[in-house]
Structure formats: structure tokens, C-alpha cells
Structure 1
Amino acid sequence: MATSHQYYTLFLFFTLLFSYSLTTISVSATTKQKQRCHPSDYKVLMQIKKSLNNPYHLASWVPKTDCCEWYCLECDEKTNRVRALTIFSGEISGQIPDAIGDLPYLDNLEFRKLSNITGSIPRSITKLKKLKFVSISWLNLTGPVPDFLSELPNLEFLELNFNQFSGSIPPSFSKFTKLGALHLDRNKLTGSIPESFGHFTGTVPDLYLSHNQLTGTIPKSFGNMDFERIDLSRNKLVGDATLLFKPNGSTQILDISRNMLEFDFSKVMFPKKSLISLDINHNKIYGSIPKDIVKIQHLQMFNASYNRLCGVIPTGGDMARFDYSTYIHNNCLCGLPLKKCT
């Protein structure tokens, strides 16, 4: 019969054996994890972390661990290469590191809401030919919008808004053929809208240029483009904007408010099936409101205030949803919801 001492010896033996097995499994798993992160991607990511002064936001980027498990990153399931780098809303200072150009499989790049990031976009980004989505917004970047971004052939989304970019808009951006949206709004851009923006081939991007200091007229070439969403508001644009209204077009949102545009609104013809939002307030637009506006099928937002419009406000359709604020400060508009016509 086994003694208590023998039982204790057996218990200790199996305890040690179990612990050893767990350690072996853990080491094996860790080794396996290390192999998942591509060595060159790992090296580049550590350079990026160092360039950003090792911020707490990247605390999960621990040396000798699997980079595919780190925050702010995503690896492709098949290749295990880093495909997305999304650094968002953290206490990070410095500049966008040149090293991002050495992540060749990157298709999604996001630096957003990082107000202490300064400088400019590094040219090394042009090496990332797989890039589809770029959001570099709510930073403090300065200087001109980089012309070299047009060298990224597969871009489907480009967002550079809420920065301090100055100078003119690069005409070369019209070379994009797959771009679905271009956000250059809320910067300090000057000069005119490039004529080339009326010659996009392939996809016609939603165009957001508001809250800048753009001058001149709307390019005549825009008559060739059917923009679904276009926002040119809060600039210093002058002249005619009737070419943006296409009766057979697919425009959903059109905002030309707070400019110095001057044209006869009565000559406008609306895209009746698609238009849902039209803002023309704070311009020098004259004439009357076209009666055809009541035939727009899904008009949810309309603002014609602070212009030089006259005549009877059309009734019917969706017009009853708009109150007096839609029409105030015009020369001689009348009818509901304003005073009666005499």
C-alpha cells in the first residue's frame, strides 16, 4: 500500500508535468504567432512607432509579439501582410512617418483626429500602389495639397479635410478613375477650381470643396459631369451655376451656398427623380423659383434665403415642409409661408 509520502511525490510529479505541458503549449503558440506577422512589416511598424515617439496609443505594439494582433492594424487573412493602418483620435505628436511607404500591401490608411500631427504627407505614400482608402483628416498638416497623390491609381476614397492645406487644388487629381469621393473641404485652399475636374474618366467622384477660399467661376467643363453629391459652399465663387443643374442627371445633394454666385434661378431645370437637398443661400441669385420645383419627388432640404429672388413661392409637392427661414431676405418673394402676394 502506498504511503502518504508516495502520494505526495506522485502529486508533485503530475503537477510539474502539467505545468511543463502548459508552458510548452504556450511557447509553441507564441512561436506560431510570431510567424504570422511578416518580418518586414514588423520592422516597419516598429519604425513607425518610434517615429511617433512611442505613444501610449500604440501600447499594444509590443516587441517580439504578433503584429497582426496589435491595435490600429489589420492583416490580410491569406497573406498575413498588413493591409490596414488606422490611427485614430489619440495623443500623438510628430509627423506622418516616411516608413508608411514600406508597407506594400496596405490598401487602407487612416490618420484621423490627431491635432498634434503636423508637417505634410510624405512622398513615400506613392509606393503604396494597392491603396484604396485614404483618410488623412482633422490633423494640422500645412503646405500645398500634394500633387503626387495622383500617382495612386487604385484610390476609391480620398479625404484630406480639416487640415491647414493652402495653395491651389492639384489639377492632376482628375486622373483618378476609380475615386468615389474627394474631400478637400475645410482647409485654406485658394485659386480656382481646376477645369480638369470636368474631365474625370471612369467614376465621377462626390466632390467636397467647401469652407475654403476658392475664387473664380465654376468651370464650364462641369457641364460634362454628373456629380451625385457636390458641395462648393463657403467659398468666394462668382458667376453662373446653372450648369450644375441637369434635368436628366443623378444629382442628390447640391450645395453652392455662401458664395457670390449670380444667375437667373428661373432658368434652372431640376433632376426631379434624384435631388434630395438643394442649398443656394447667401448668394446674388435673382429671378423666380421655378414652378417645376414642386415636381421634385424626394426634396428633403431646400434653402434659398439671402438672395435676390422675386415672385410667388410655388406650392405643392414637398414644398409645405419648408418654413419662412427657407425664403427670408430676398427682394420680393411672396406667398406661403411668407406674406400674401398683392
Structure 2
Amino acid sequence: MSGIDLSANMLHGEIPWELGNLSHVKSLNLSYNFFVVPIPMTLSGMEEIESLDLSHNELSGPIPWQLTQLSTLGVFSVAYNNLSGCIPNSGQLGFGMESYLGNTNLHQITQGGMCAAPSPDPAAGKEVEETTGHPVLYVVTAAGFVLAFWATIGFSFCHPYGRSVMLKM
């Protein structure tokens, strides 16, 4: 089997530990679901995994150190969860900070071996602001559509030219 994509399926609960038995799967995408509790360390049994996306869930706890043993892993994301602890700096999990964004209690290991909070990403804050939107803009847009709809209806039935067009249909 090449890959499993179960993203955005409203799945919830724990990630099944049995997925770790799928040693020949190359890609696993469980993003945009509602998985909770820690990432199962059994995922380290996916010996041929090249891409693992667990982003946009509600996972908590640390990243299992066993995942650093996945030698074929080239794409990895646990962004936007509730993970905590240190980002493993050994093995295959040395990805850019974009793989770990949105986990406020997840920290980098510094050169002295200490955990340090990641520097705030201004782009991440901007993304949240843009997706949150502005309620006033939505109200004004909706009111504009309603007004345009009723103006078209009024013109079609009340104005002589609008009535003549409607009668020709």
C-alpha cells in the first residue's frame, strides 16, 4: 500500500496504535480531524513512511522520541495541535519550525540542551487574523447582496421597461 489519506473526515478519539503495524505504508495523512491524547509511539513501526501529517488535530503530550528512528521520513507535520515538551533534535525530526507551529507548549532544544520557547511567527498570527475575518464586513456584504436582489426584483416588476422584458420571456 502506498498511502492512506484520512484527512478532514471528522475522526475523533485516539489515533489507533495499530497503524504502527502498517510497515509498508509510504504516506499517512490524518490532518484536520479531532484526534486527541498523545501521538502513539507505535507509529515508529511504519518503517517505510516518507510523509506523516498529523497537523490540525487536538493531540497533546510530547512527540514520541521513537519517531526519530524513522529513517525514510521526508515530510512531517504536527502543526496546530496541543503538543508540549521539546522538539526532538536528533534523527529524522529535524524539520523546519513550520512543522511544529501552533503548539504553544512545544519548545526547541537549544545548543546547551535546554528547552526554549520557539520565537513567535508573525506570519502565523497574520494567518489567524485573516481567517477570523471581520463580522462587520460580512454583514455589509450580505446586506449588499440582499439589496441588489430586491432592487432587481423591483425593477423587473415595477418599472415599465422591466415589465416589458419580463413579458417577452
TM-score, shorter chain, exceeding 0.5: yes
Q: Deviations over 1:124-170 (max 9, x none)?
A: 11111111111101000001122211010011111010000012222
The corresponding residue for 2:68 is 150
Structure-2-length-normalised TM-score: 0.62
Match among 15, 24, 30 for residue 111 of structure 1: 30
Give the unaligned 5+ runs of structure 1.
Answer: 1-81, 198-212, 216-231, 235-254, 259-342
Quote the offset at 1:119 in angstroms: 1.1
Higher relative contact order structure (alpha carbons within 8 Å, sequence separation ≥ 6): 2
Relative to structure 1, the CA distance from residue 106 to residue 87 in structure 2 (aligned partners, 3 Å threshold; closer, same or farther) is: same
Asked if structure 1 preserves the Cα contact closer than 8 Å seen for 2:23 and 2:49, the reply is no
Task: Give, in angstroms, the shift of residue 196 of structure 1.
Answer: 8.8
What is aligned with 2:58?
Answer: 140
Q: 1:146 to 1:196 in 2, by over 3 A?
A: farther
SS at match of 1:195: coil
TM-score using structure 1 length:
0.32
Q: Is the 1:167–1:188 Cα contact (8 Å) retained in structure 2? A: no
Shift of 1:91: 2.3
Q: CA deviation at 1:189?
A: 2.7
Q: Distance in 1 between matches of 2:4 and 2:77?
A: 15
Quote how far apart the aligned CAs of 1:194 are: 3.3
Determine what percentage of the aligned residue pairs are the same residue: 20
Structure 2 Cα separation of the partners of residues 118 and 100 of structure 1: 15
The two structures, once aligned, show a CA RMSD in angstroms of: 3.0
Alignment of 1:318-333 (within 5 A): none
- After TM superposition, give the deviation of residue 214 of structure 1 in Å: 0.7
C-alpha distance in 2 between matches for 1:83 and 1:140: 26
2:162 corresponds in structure 1 to none
Q: Which has the larger radius of gyration?
A: 1
Name the one with the larger helix percent: 2
Counterpart for residue 76 of structure 1: none
11, 14, 17: which is aligned to 1:98?
A: 17
Within the candidate set 117, 120, 142, 1:233 is matched to: 120
The one-letter code sitting in structure 1 at the alignment partner of 2:120 is: S
2:67–2:92 CA contact under 8 A, matched in 1 = no
CA distance in 2, matches of 1:149, 1:139: 18
Structure 2: stretches of 5+ with no match in the other structure: 126-169
Q: In the alignment, is the contact (CA less than 8 A) between 1:157 and 1:181 conserved in 2? A: no
CA contact (8 A) 2:44 2:69 kept: yes
Q: Residue 9 of structure 2: SS of its match in structure 1?
A: coil
